[in-house]
Amino acid sequence: MCGRLSQYTGIHDFVAALSMPNALANSVGHQPLERYNVAPSTQVALLHLQGDLLHADMVRWGWRPHWAKDRAAPINARMEKVAHGPFFRAIWPHRAITPINNWFEWVDEGSPKKQPYLIRRRDGAPIFCAAIGQLPDADEGSGEHDGFVIITADSAGGMVDIHDRRPVVFNSNLAREWLDPATHKERAEQMAVFEGEHPDSFQWFKVDMAVGSTRNEGRHLINPESK
C-alpha cells in the first residue's frame, strides 16, 4: 500500500472537511477532480501550509533524493523508518496531507489475476493521508524535483486480509496539527506511530478488474463488483 487511489470530489470539499480557517492558495482548480484511478508518478492534489497560507497544489506522487538515481522513486514511506532513515531525511520536516476518497489494493484469491478491492471510510468522509515531500514554493513555484510520498503503517489488527500495509490516516484535528509547521518533528513522529485512524474506521469491497489498467477511468471503477 498504497498503489492506486481516487480523488474525485473538489479541492474545496476536502478543505471544508479539514475545517481549516486559513486562506487558500488554490492551483488545483475549483471543479471536481473526477479522478477515479490515480496512478503513481502522476500529479496528485496535495495540501500543505506555507506560513499561514494553505496551499493546494498538484504534485508528483513519488520522490527520491538526488543521490538515489539508481532506483525508482518510492511512492510510500514506512512509518517505522521514515523519521530516522537517511533516505527521507531531507523531506521529513516538510509535511503535507494527501486528501483522497478511497484507495485500492489487489489480493491474491487464487485466480489468474489478483482481485482489486476498494477501501474507504465507513462514514464516507474524506481520507486525510499523512505525507511528506519536496513541495512547491509559493515564491519560486513548482520545481522539477518536487514530489511526495504517503506514509504507511502495519495493518496488523485489521485490514491484513487485504494488505499488510495501509496509509497513516488522520482525523481532521490531527491532520491540521500534522500540517502545522509549528508541530515539532518528535510530535509528528508520535502522531504517525500512535494516532492514525484505526482499521475499524474503514470498509472494503471488491471492484471491477478494469481498475487494474491505468487507461481506464470513470465512476464505475469505484462501484462494488456485480456478480
For residue 24, give its domain range: 5-222
Contact 164, 3 (CB under 8 A): no
Please report whether residue 29 resides in a domain: yes
Rounded-to-10 torsion of CA 5, 7, 11, 14: -70
Please report whether residue 78 resides in a domain: yes
Q: Flag whether pLDDT at 1 surpasses 70.
A: no
**Residues belonging to the active site:** 2, 105
The reported pLDDT for the residue numbered 155 is: 62
Q: Flag whether pLDDT at 176 surpasses 70.
A: yes
For the residues 15-43, what does the mean pLDDT come to?
Answer: 96
Q: How far is CA 132 from CA 25, 32, 171, 184, in A?
A: 19, 24, 17, 14
The reported pLDDT for the residue numbered 163 is: 57
Instruction: Encode pLDDT of 69-82 as tens digits.
Output: 888 999 999 988 89
For the residues 103-118, what does the mean pLDDT come to?
Answer: 92
For the residues 222-226, what does the mean pLDDT come to?
Answer: 90
Instruction: Encode pLDDT of 204-215 as tens digits.
Output: 999 999 999 999
The reported pLDDT for the residue numbered 11 is: 98
Q: Residue 91's closest CA among 46, 55, 131?
A: 131
Please report whether residue 227 resides in a domain: no
The tally of domains found in the chain comes to: 1
Q: State the residue for C-alpha cell 495501509.
A: 166
- Can you spell out the DSSP letters for 143-205? -TT-EEEEEEEE-TTTTTTT-SEEE-EE-HHHHHHHH-TTS-HHHHHHHHHH-SPPGGGEEEE
The reported pLDDT for the residue numbered 160 is: 45
Please report whether residue 167 resides in a domain: yes
The reported pLDDT for the residue numbered 161 is: 59
Residue type, 75: I
* Range with lowest mean pLDDT among 10-14, 45-49, 97-101, 139-143: 139-143
The reported pLDDT for the residue numbered 138 is: 72
For the residues 45-66, what does the mean pLDDT come to?
Answer: 96
Radius of gyration for the alpha carbons in the chain, expressed in angstroms and rounded = 17
* Averaged pLDDT score across all residues of the chain: 92
Q: Which helix (H) or strand (E) holds 59?
A: strand 53-60
For the residues 197-202, what does the mean pLDDT come to?
Answer: 90
CATH of the domain at 169: 3.90.1680.10
Q: State the residue for C-alpha cell 462494488.
A: 224
